[in-house]
Amino acid sequence: MTLSLFDQFLSPVVYWIPLVAIAITLPWILFPSPTTRWLNNRSLTSQNWFLSQATSQIFLPINPPGHKWALLLSSLLIFLATMNTAGLLPYTFTPTSQLSINMGLAGALWMGVVILGMRTQPTHSLGHLLPEGAPALLTPILVIIETISLFIRPIALGVRLTANLTAGHLLIQLTSTATLAMLTIMPVTAIFTGILLFLLALLEAAVALIQAYVFVLLLSLYLQENV
Does pTM surpass 0.75?
yes
Q: pLDDT tens digits, residue range 84-106?
A: 888 788 777 788 888 888 898 99
Q: pLDDT tens digits, residue range 172-198?
A: 888 888 888 888 888 888 888 889 888
What is d(CA 133, CA 225) in angstroms, rounded to the nearest whole number? Answer: 19
Q: Is the pLDDT of residue 137 over 50?
A: yes
pLDDT for 34 equals: 67
Q: Is the pLDDT of residue 5 over 70?
A: no
What is d(CA 108, CA 88) in angstroms, rounded to the nearest whole number? Answer: 27
